[in-house]
Chain A
Amino acid sequence: MVSISDIRKWNADQLEQARSEVQRELQVLTSEGDEFAGTKISEGDWTGKSSASAMAAHDKLLQQGDRHAAGLAAIVKGLAQASDAVRPLPRQINEAEELGRKYGFQVGENGDVTDTFAGKPLPPDIHPEDRERAKQEITAKLEQVVRTATDIDADLAGVFGKAGAGQYGVGQTGNLTTAAAAGTAAMALTTPDPPAGGTAAQNAAWWGTLSKAEQGAAIGATPDKIGNLNGVPAVARSQANMNRIPAMRARLMQRLKNSGSVDEIKSIEAKLKSLDKIKETMHRGNRSLLVLDDTHPRMEAAIGIGDVDGAKNVNVFTPGFTTTVDGSIKGYDSAMADLLQKENYLNRVHGGGSNAAVTWIGYQAPQADEVASSQSVALPQAAQHGGNKLAGFLSGVGVAHEANNAPLHLTALGHSYGSTTTGEALGHNTPANDAVLFGSPGEGWNKPHVNGGHIYSEQAATDYVPAAGHTSDLFHLPTSPGGPLGPDTYSDPNIQHMSTNIKANPEGGDPLAPAFGHSEYLNNGTTSQYNMAAVGSGHSELVKPETEGDRMLRDASYFTPGFMFGTPK
């Protein structure tokens, strides 16, 4: 296995120079060899024992020439590919060193990583969780550099070995140019597969070690391997996932023809409809298809708006109960577009960077017909499983920003059961800086936390979902707060409550911008949406906090629905 110190000495230009020299030799060989092949002695020109001997020698030389020409051509190709493939490696080592300097780690000559703050307090501007992630990224980069380099080395050694053993060539052709073409066509270097079960940091590191040509080939030829890989750049994932759609559709159509059960037919039809809805949403423009997975009972997908890998502020929204890709992705994408427009406005008025948003339906959100199953909306399992996947996705956004050296303020938004999924995700070490859990039946059991910012919640009048989560609070019962989906957002002292502008008598009086019930939090122009945009755009100072009056009116709304409260139309 090669080492980091070996790789530091590798020189792509020398490989290119060697290629150029071998290429020249190959040209001489094919040109003179083809001329020599043309001088073949025909029977009748020269007869006798020495003639036969001369013809045999001529053939033998041509056979040798065939193998040499093919072998040299394979070496030329191998050197060209190796020269291209090794170029990203020093850059990756440099990036690991750079990241190390930023977070207090030193990368040694041979790739060993030492903590330069060992035994000393961390500077206040370095968050320990950010630092831990940085260390993982540094280690991943160095590991993947070695892995890819070892692969290049083995592949190139294989080419030399085969050429030396005369294993290239097409046999006696009498034409060395043809033999050389066969050598060029032979497989030379292969691209290493993504790391099995890789983290976002490992996947990003692997991707970074590939040349542009290898990356392009992966998107075109093996899109299934990279479309859902957290850590791979959004543009590449999106292109790969779009490339996967025709084959996925064909496979589903085939399965539909062969399926017998009503449930299976319904499931496949919903997946086919999901592909239609995804394509229609992508057609809106400035979108990226970041997740596409048809291997579960229901399709999973995520669509981003804007530059998800480069925008300063990225919002990742997870919806909840009854969400499906076929039924929900277009609507939620519209809501994210509205939110993004509001965030762009806020950053223009008050200063700040660019914004992007993602609708993430990368999990099996519970459905109405699953209430009695382990996937039930009343149980945390679906949220826990989804939360693990969401944490990986959030990490991918963070790693991609690191790779672009772009600052990131990441906000996780979760609605309804999606807030439980979001809460479960935030129990992991993710790069999320802020979160908004709205209409939440519970924050999950994974102790959600964010880096540097806050977790906020919103609870609208007449929304019974969060009310169910804090009945003990509502009725002043001496029971422990929260239900099966974890502590409710109102019993968690670390959560800040934002206003949804609850007021009585919405039909008259002052102009209002309230959200009512369970489904209006993201409505354009509401206080609820404004608050989310303020958090998501990095302007938490603009947030309208919930007042005691808001809270009293909201609690009253559960007992007087439709009388004093309702949606003004």
Chain B
Amino acid sequence: MQHPDEAFAKLAKLPSIDEAVQQYEQLGSQIRQELSQEIPDLTAWKDSQDSVGGSGCFNEEDGEKRHLPDYVVQKGVTDQQYEQALQIIGKMAKPIGFGDKPQRFHDSPGKHDSSFFNPRDNTTISFGTGKATVLQISVGCHLTPEAKKRGHPSES
């Protein structure tokens, strides 16, 4: 287990949670745009309008994880289109630290679940298809703007 100061120092090198959310919202938007362009079935993206919101991390005081709303197309895609979509997402996510190969949780004809993982900040991009196709981004642990400004862990 890392010492709290060490863990804080590691998180301090990352953007604050607000900045990270902005960055990942932008990435999500670009991915959806690219998917729409390349796979015509994936055009009618709808914001799920809900999420469980934020949750704590790093002593539960100074850090925050944020679940962005899911984006949903109310139809599944073919197995071939799904593979194509994974390639697109991997290619776009790689420059900011994600592995270009996803973790494949489920694969059966017409049903797939995979996640791309960013080891820099533990953010995951989940992409699945079945009855619908969903893109989900869960932003990993980043310091709150207050903690980042403070520059050291709070006493909890």
A interface residue numbers (CB < 8 A to B): 280, 284-286, 305-306, 330-331, 333-334, 337-338, 340-342, 344-346, 348-351, 510-513, 524-525, 527, 530, 542, 544, 568-569
User: Which one of B52, B119, B131, B140 lies within 8 Å of A349 (CB-CB)?
Assistant: B131
Which B95-148 residues have a C-beta within 8 angstroms of A?
Answer: 99, 101-103, 105-106, 111, 113, 115, 117, 119, 122, 124, 126, 128-134, 136, 138, 140
Closest to B53 in A: A285
Which of B50, B124, B133 is packed against the most chain A CB atoms within 10 Å? B124
Please list 12 pairs of residues, one from A and one from B, whose beta carbons are closer than 8 Å in the complex, sorted by A's number.
A333-B56, A341-B52, A344-B70, A351-B130, A351-B131, A351-B132, A511-B103, A512-B103, A513-B105, A524-B122, A525-B117, A542-B105
Complex Cα distance, B126 from A552, in Å, reads 30
Known: A348-B70, A349-B113, A349-B130. A334 touches B56 (CB 8 A): yes
State how many angstroms separate the Cβ of A315 from the closest Cβ of chain B.
12
B51 A348 Cβ-Cβ under 8 A? no
State how many angstroms separate the Cβ of A326 from the closest Cβ of chain B.
10
A284 B134 Cβ-Cβ under 8 A? no
A337 B55 Cβ-Cβ under 8 A? yes
B111 A350 Cβ-Cβ under 8 A? yes
B122 A511 Cβ-Cβ under 8 A? no
B65 at the interface (CB under 8 A from A): yes
9 more contacts with CB within 8 A, not counting A350-B128, A511-B101, A525-B103, are A306-B52, A338-B55, A341-B67, A342-B126, A344-B50, A345-B126, A513-B105, A525-B122, A568-B119
Q: Is the interface of A mostly helix, strand, loop or mixed?
A: helix
Q: Which residues of A contact B33 (CB under 8 A)?
A: none
Q: Which residues of B contact A333 (CB under 8 A)?
A: 55-56
B4 at the interface (CB under 8 A from A): no
Closest to B99 in A: A511
Q: Which residues of B contact A350 (CB under 8 A)?
A: 111, 128, 130-131
Q: Which residues of B contact A349 (CB under 8 A)?
A: 113, 128-134
B21 at the interface (CB under 8 A from A): no
State how many angstroms separate the Cβ of B99 from the closest Cβ of chain A.
5
Which B56-87 residues have a C-beta within 8 angstroms of A?
Answer: 56-57, 60, 65, 67, 70, 72
Complex Cα distance, B123 from A524, in Å, reads 9
B140 A524 Cβ-Cβ under 8 A? yes
B54 at the interface (CB under 8 A from A): yes
Closest to A355 in B: B52
B23 at the interface (CB under 8 A from A): no
Q: Which residues of B contact A345 (CB under 8 A)?
A: 70, 126, 128, 134, 136
State how many angstroms separate the Cβ of A356 from the closest Cβ of chain B.
10
State how many angstroms separate the Cβ of B33 from the closest Cβ of chain A.
20
